[in-house]
């Protein structure tokens, strides 16, 4: 029996023949069934057998053995070590039935292959392996084909994780009902359920519909019936922008040169956190005063300006930091590997608190602020679109709404007509 836990694989032997055959072969009447069990958030091996005082004493002596009152059984952690202790202690006490455990481990191996551990730089929450293994075999195969097709279509790792997570929400709800049997009306009702009962927002609803559309149209090659399911109208959410005085306080909050350089880099060219993470030393073009943003969102490369001020900041950072970065502009604890996106988010939030900025802004607000400030300085929105790497100018026009907030500083003619003394 193959036993997979984490990234390691172990080979075990187990008794799998029927009880009567086993009884004749071993002369043992006691059957000890080993079953997988999720208990208190941990994977465990549950031991089920007909109660016997001598056997109870032996099981209690197993390392880390505990009694589950709710499941009415003894259990140990699901691990190579625990399994070996069970075999050594109980092989002479009864016949071990590992059929259920074997099936679980084989399924877990497949699930782990479909749902690899999320990369450190991703901001997308990974799917729970414990949730995926509960899927029916048919729906697990559907998930496997879904991920395979996304990879064949060369979708980005971030999009694959997002679509996979959204598809999983439906599969978990279906239990044993095959996803392939669903009709347009079923999916319509499901989306109503997701919005009313799960409370998903408009953007999440669009992502979930995109994932379902991909499965039924790209994997199953069904007719394009998703036009029958209306998409919720997205809310117009204005980007959160910081003023120039707030930005100065933010930049001065950190004494660490690396942290300051990260914040300056993001604002200077309106970069996403993932773009700052993936900047390499050879992406800095001093002769043309440009930064190459490679493999950005939508698999687009683009050039952005390299501010002379930023170049001075980066040069000072590079010359004084130890150890010096060897590949990426900002490296993590392991030389040659990038600083993580989550660490950059923490750098920003720490600076925000130290700068006394109560506004609920994030690292991405540096990008919003860059675009808005350019617009306020009279830069054509078409150029801003290219600098930000937007596919559609409609995405960039959000910043026009932010700029309109300046209307509140225009004096109303009522103020000129009637003074405060006349009120």
Could you tell me if 89 and 98 are in contact, meaning their C-beta atoms sit under 8 angstroms apart?
A: no
Judge whether 206 counts as a catalytic residue.
no
Strand pairing class (42-48; 66-68): unpaired
| Rounded alpha-carbon distances, angstroms, from residue 146 to 133, 136, 142, 150, 392 | 16, 15, 6, 6, 28
The answer to whether the CB of 293 falls within 8 A of the CB of 304 is yes
Q: Please state, in angstroms and rounded to a whole number, the distance separating the CA atoms of residues 293 and 339.
A: 16
Catalytic residue among 93, 145, 294, 364, which? Answer: 364
**346 counts as catalytic:** no
Quote the CA–CA distance of 373 and 375 in Å, as a whole number.
5
Tokens of 359: 């506004």
User: In Å, how far are 32, 189, 248 from 55, measured between CA atoms?
Assistant: 10, 52, 71
Catalytic member of 19, 110, 297, 403: 297
Q: Which of 75, 104, 190, 399 is catalytic?
A: 399
Q: What CA–CA distances, in Å, run from 315 to 208, 283, 304?
A: 44, 14, 18
Indicate the DSSP class of residue 128: P
Catalytic residue among 102, 213, 367, 385: 367
CB 97 within 8 A of CB 33: yes
Residue 71 phi/psi, 5-degree rounding, is -100, -5
Q: Which of helix, strand or coil describes residue 280?
A: strand
The active-site residue out of 102, 213, 272, 368 is: 272
Q: What length is written for the chain?
A: 423
The three-state secondary structure class of 126 is coil
The residues near 10 (Cβ < 8 Å, ≥ 6 apart) are: 2, 3, 4, 80
- Tokens 């003619």 belong to 413
297 is catalytic: yes
Rounded Cα–Cα distance for residues 403 and 312 (Å):
30
Q: Is 399 in the active site?
A: yes
C-alpha dist (Å) from residue 275 to 19, 150, 187, 229: 60, 23, 36, 35
What residues contact residue 236 under an 8 Å CB cut-off, 6+ apart?
Answer: 398, 401
390 annotated active-site: yes
Catalytic residue set: 272, 297, 364, 367, 390, 399
């Amino acid at each position: 029996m193959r036993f997979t836990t984490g990234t390691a694989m172990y080979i075990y032997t187990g008794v799998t023949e029927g009880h009567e055959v086993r009884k004749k072969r071993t002369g043992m009447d006691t059957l000890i069934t080993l079953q997988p069990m999720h208990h208190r958030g941990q994977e465990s091996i549950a031991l089920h057998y007909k109660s016997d005082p001598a056997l109870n004493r032996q099981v209690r002596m197993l390392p880390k053995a505990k009694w589950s009152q709710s499941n009415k059984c003894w259990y140990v952690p699901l691990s190579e070590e625990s399994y070996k202790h069970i075999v050594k202690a109980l092989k002479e006490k009864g016949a071990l039935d590992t059929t259920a455990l074997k099936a679980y481990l084989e399924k877990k191996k497949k699930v782990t292959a479909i749902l690899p551990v999320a990369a450190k730089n991703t901001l997308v929450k990974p799917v729970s392996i414990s949730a995926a293994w509960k899927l029916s075999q048919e729906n697990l195969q559907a998930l496997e084909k879904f991920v395979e097709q996304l990879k064949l279509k060369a979708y980005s790792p971030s999009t694959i994780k997002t679509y996979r997570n959204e598809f999983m929400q439906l599969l978990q709800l279906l239990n044993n009902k095959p996803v392939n049997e669903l009709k347009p009306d079923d999916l319509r009702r499901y989306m109503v359920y997701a919005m009313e009962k799960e409370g998903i927002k408009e953007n999440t609803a669009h992502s979930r519909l995109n994932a379902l559309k991909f499965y039924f149209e790209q994997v199953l090659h069904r007719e394009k019936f998703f036009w029958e399911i209306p998409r919720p109208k997205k809310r117009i959410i204005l980007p959160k922008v910081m003023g120039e005085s707030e930005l100065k306080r933010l930049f001065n909050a950190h004494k660490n040169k690396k942290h300051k350089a990260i914040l300056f880099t993001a604002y200077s060219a309106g970069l996403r956190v993932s773009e700052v993470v993936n900047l390499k030393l050879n992406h800095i073009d001093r002769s043309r005063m440009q930064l190459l943003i490679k493999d950005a969102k939508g698999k687009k490369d683009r050039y952005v300006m390299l501010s002379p001020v930023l170049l001075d900041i980066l040069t000072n950072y590079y010359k004084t930091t130890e150890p010096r970065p060897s590949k990426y502009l900002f490296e993590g604890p392991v030389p040659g590997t990038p600083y993580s996106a989550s660490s950059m988010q923490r750098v920003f939030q720490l600076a925000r608190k130290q700068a006394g900025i109560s506004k609920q802004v994030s690292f991405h607000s540096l990008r919003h602020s860059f675009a808005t400030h350019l617009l306020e300085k009279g830069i054509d929105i078409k150029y801003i679109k290219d600098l930000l790497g937007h596919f559609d100018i409609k995405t960039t026009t959000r910043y026009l709404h932010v700029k309109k907030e300046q209307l509140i500083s225009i004096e109303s003619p009522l103020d000129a007509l009637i003074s405060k003394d006349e009120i």
